Amino acid sequence: MTLSKSPRQATPPGTTIAESIHFLNMPPADFARRIEVSEDFLARLIAGDEPITPDLAERLESVTGSPKAFWTMLESKYRKSL
């Protein structure tokens, strides 16, 4: 019997953002303020409904310490998988 593998969809970068918020032990409202977005935008970002732009990647880097290139790579892989 041969098992076929279905293509795996990339995880939205928002999953990593949510993990970062948890790791930093920071309320989402504070995180949103620090990356200069609304709480609603942050919720959409975490859900994968908003893209990570280069500017946003820089702001994420300043708060999380993860490089801008990391965030843009996650975003690129996710969008290509859609």
Question: Is residue 31 one of the residues assigned to a domain?
Answer: yes
Tokens of 79: 């969008």
When pLDDT is cut at 50, 70 and 90, the band that residue 66 belongs to is: very high
- Residues 40-53 as b/e (b if ≥16 CB within 10 A, e otherwise) read eebbebbebebebe
For residue 5, being part of any structural domain is answered with no
What pLDDT band is residue 1 in, cutting at 50, 70 and 90? Answer: very low
Number of domains in the chain: 1
Residues 82 and 9: their CA atoms lie apart, in Å, by: 7
Give domain status of residue 6, yes or no. no
CATH of the domain at 77: 1.10.260.40
pTM, two decimal places:
0.86
* pLDDT attached to residue 7: 57
Domain holding 74, by residue range, is 13-81
Higher pLDDT, 78 or 82: 78
Q: Which amino acid type is present at position 49?
A: D
Crossing angle of the two packed helices 68-81 and 54-64, in degrees rounded to 10: 130
pLDDT of residue 11: 86
Confidence of residue 82 (pLDDT cuts 50, 70, 90): confident
Spatial contact of 20 and 66, defined as CB atoms under 8 Å apart: yes
